[in-house]
Amino acid sequence: MLPKLANLKEITKNVFDLSDENEYNLHAKIVKRIGDTLMAKEFRRFEVDEYNRKVLRFLLLYFNHCKEAEEIFPEENYKIHKHIMLVGNVGVGKTMLMQVFAHYLRVTDNINAFYNVSVTEMINYYKVHNHLDKYTFNEQSGKSRFNGNPVNLCLNDVGLNTHLHFGVDTKILVDDFLYSRYELYMNHHKMAHLTTNFGVTELKKAFDYRLTDRFKAYNIIDMDGESRRR
């Protein structure tokens, strides 16, 4: 029987020392159980295989501020202070992976907890409100103007909707989001992770050159394999 996510809230520390392999295995099991719970609506299990096993280990260490994360892909020079950008073809499990970790970080009351938002959701918000404040400085949640409450986010599916959408140039909106979030990262260390079906070359072609230089602030992680959708 799959566990309910609420039943996992017994662990309440902010970050954990996962250099202890026993502690790491405990948290890996929690991540797997959360994945299974999220996949249960499709009558499937969360698959851990050759294509995502090392990525899962990296993310689990990364979100708990464990320097050992930087040793998982030594050839890539990933750093735990950078954002995450998951790159891969449609269906390889990028968004699901970030959904799993969003739940895991909330369950463990981790200070790196983030909210998932899709490009489509952001576009729809903009069409109603004519601004992106909710996903950037979040000033409207503050008690007074310029007293915002920005949060950590993951913007999913960058690249799928970079076109005109009912008169809205979605590429401009994504540009604005990335500029604002870079400022929030530099000034407040609020993270903005990304998932995208674009490769690095496509990203450089699609976005302003000033933005592509700021992609240096990301751990760009390639996810291989075929589509997991059935």
What span, in angstroms and rounded, lies between the C-alpha atoms of 65 and 74?
17
pTM: 0.89
pLDDT at residue 227 in the model = 85
Tokens (6 digits) for 11:
């662990």
What span, in angstroms and rounded, lies between the C-alpha atoms of 137 and 179?
11
- Map out the domains of the chain with their CATH numbers: 79-222 (3.40.50.300)
With b for 16 or more beta-carbon neighbours within 10 A and e for fewer, the 182-191 pattern comes to bebbeeeebb
pLDDT at residue 139 in the model = 86
pLDDT at residue 4 in the model = 52
For Cα atoms 65, 115, 186, give the angle at the middle one, nearest 5 degrees.
55
Q: How high is the mean pLDDT in each 10-residue block of the chain (230 residues)?
A: 49 76 96 96 94 97 96 96 94 95 95 94 91 91 67 90 61 89 92 90 72 85 85
Please say whether the dihedral angle defined by the alpha carbons of residues 82, 219, 62 and 21, taken in this order, is positive or negative: negative
